[in-house]
Amino acid sequence: MVMTDEQMDEFLESIGGLENGYFTNREPITSYAFFECNNGWFPLIKELIEDIIVLGWDRKTCQVKEKFGGLRFYITSGSDSINDRISQAEKASYSICEVTGQPGKLRTDIGWHKTLCEEEYIKKLPTNV
């Protein structure tokens, strides 16, 4: 399942946004554009945000991105339970296609590390001309 940009924006707005951990004087983060990854991970990120808010997270985030084929969710501070939940989501990202949200796996033979389903992986393979 993939969330659209608009759905992620609606979710962020519904929770009052996230606070920028680097620039606390800025408006709340209410745009999907803050996340440096494709939409296939938006449901994973949404669930993570919901879970860690319940665990007492202050909503201060520094960066959310793809790195070496996996999700990275950087916050300013958090309890052990918050950090454990973030680690769970980051680990889970290696089995979810970043593009489609379908089951995927880490691909390392396409010039960079990316977690993709079979269909998206085939699209990234070099073609023989």
Q: What is the pLDDT of residues 65-91, one digit of tens each?
A: 999 999 999 999 999 999 999 999 999
In this predicted model, what pLDDT tens digit does every residue of 29-77 receive, in sequence order?
999 999 999 999 999 999 999 999 999 999 999 999 999 999 999 999 9
Q: State mean pLDDT over 83-100.
A: 98
- Where b means 16+ CB within 10 Å and e means fewer, 23-39 reads eeeeeebbebebbebbb
Instruction: Tell me the domain boundaries of the chain.
Output: 5-94
pTM comes to 0.94
- In angstroms, rounded to a whole number, what is the distance separating the alpha carbons of residues 109 and 67? 16
- 1's CB contacts (< 8 A; 6+ apart) are 43, 101
Closest-CA residue to 43 (of 59, 32, 54, 34): 32
- In angstroms, rounded to a whole number, what is the distance separating the alpha carbons of residues 43 and 11? 10
